[in-house]
Amino acid sequence: MKVSDFDFYLPRELIAQSHAEKRSLSRLLVYHFPSGEREDKFFYDIEDYFSCGDLLVINDTKVIPARLFGQKNSGARIELLLTGERSEGLWESMARPLKRLHIGTVIEVNGITFSVEEKLDWGGVLLRFPEGLDVHDFLQKNGRMPVPPYIHNDDQEYLRKRYQTVFAEKQGSVAAPTAGLHFTEEILCRLKAKGVQVITITLHVGMGTFLPVKSETVEGHVMHSEFFEISPEAAEAVNSRKGRLFACGTTVTRTLEYAADENGRLEAGRGWSDLFIYPGYHYRIVENLITNFHLPRSTLLMLVAALTGHREILHLYQEAVAKKYRFFSFGDAMLIITKEKNALS
């Protein structure tokens, strides 16, 4: 399968530069598969598609201000984007300009110095921070919130507030799980009052989401691993659920599918997921998916296409463009339903 098969035309003005005024005012395209029925809604309507006994799985990761501006001893400026903690004091990072960095290069940011430990095969570097330094605290004081390159809004006060989900808790991501950005506390409360169980898992968004597909064929792409954690309580809730499972976002989807066995039973644990989902993949556990509209040729678009079918998702995207839905991280949402409500619900 060619990567170019996942290309589509998108007018630049449909790339959202800010969120809807209120989280729940984002538009929502509802797609029923395999019937093909479509509905144009707002996100606050999403509770209408849940029934008592259903299960919603959300990602409680929190975006860290992982973007740093520093300098070498020579005075040359370096921009860094920390993409994941490998172990205590060791962080993987993107760097610009990369060619100026070598093993042993010392970088200084606001009086704190650290060095390049290794150059990584994916085009990044491994940074070693001083022993005893709380890197998360250092980033909170000195870092800037990262945003995708197609976003030109760098208002840090705005980003620290709106580029987080209302349920963000565990620090570690360099990008928000964007499907979750539409939820409000009120929507979650109404779902719970309806008898919907809401559980959290964790996947820290890293290079697996950021790296573009450079191969000509889909099968030739290798996913970068990302850290995940599923508690025993979350696994038990998934395995004992009475109703349908709704995955909030591609991060939740990748985590659940990676940790599920062939019979669709979820295993608790923590580790690194490098699962690449694309058409031909048979979903083991995810039935209904809440997601945003993704970039052309991206692994995220391929994941969604594995649920709906390649042609179907491209037709949906063409329809979304015609109806002027807003795309990408700050844009609108889609709900894909492959398992409908029980007739008695």
Give the C-alpha distances (Å, rounded to integers) separating 258 from 228, 274, 303: 10, 8, 13
Domain boundary among 144, 177, 210: 144
Q: Name the average pLDDT for the chain.
A: 93
Residues 21 and 89 in one domain: no
Residues 207 and 329 in one domain: yes
pLDDT reading at 19 higher than 50: yes
Residues 55 and 17 in one domain: yes
CATH number of the structural domain spanning residue 316: 3.40.1780.10
pLDDT reading at 336 higher than 70: yes
Do residues 179 and 292 touch, judged by C-beta distance below 8 A?
Answer: yes
For the entire predicted model, the pTM comes to 0.93
Predicted confidence at residue 272, as pLDDT, reads 92
CATH number of the structural domain spanning residue 136: 2.40.10.240
Is 345 a member of any domain? Answer: no
Number of domains in the chain: 2
Is 149 a member of any domain? Answer: no
For residue 338, name the pLDDT band (cuts at 50, 70, 90). very high
Predicted confidence at residue 78, as pLDDT, reads 94
Is 151 a member of any domain? Answer: no
Residues 103 and 24 in one domain: no
Predicted confidence at residue 208, as pLDDT, reads 62
DSSP 342: P
pLDDT reading at 70 higher than 70: yes
Domain boundary among 89, 113, 144: 144
Neighbour-count burial of 89, counting CB atoms closer than 10 A to its CB (0-12 exposed, 13-18 middle, 19+ buried) = middle
Residues 305 and 281 in one domain: yes
Predicted confidence at residue 345, as pLDDT, reads 46
For the segment 173-196, the average pLDDT, to the nearest whole number, is 96
For residue 209, name the pLDDT band (cuts at 50, 70, 90). low
Q: What is the pLDDT of residues 284-308, one digit of tens each?
A: 999 999 999 999 999 999 999 999 9
For residue 99, name the pLDDT band (cuts at 50, 70, 90). confident
Residues 246 and 189 in one domain: yes
Domain boundary among 111, 144, 177: 144
Q: How far apart are CA 173 and CA 176, in angstroms?
A: 7
The packing angle between helices 299-308 and 310-322, to 10°, is 110
End-to-end CA distance of the chain: 40
Domain region containing 136: 67-144
Residues 103 and 246 in one domain: no
Give the C-alpha distances (Å, rounded to integers) separating 239 from 56, 57, 269, 336: 13, 12, 14, 21
Q: How many residues does the chain have?
A: 345
pLDDT reading at 344 higher than 70: no
> Of 51-55, 61-65, 119-123, 190-194, where does mean pLDDT reach its minimum?
119-123
For the segment 198-218, the average pLDDT, to the nearest whole number, is 86
% of the chain beyond a pLDDT of 70: 98
Only one residue has tokens 């085009």, namely 123
Strands 27-32, 67-72: pairing kind = unpaired
Residues 138 and 168 in one domain: no
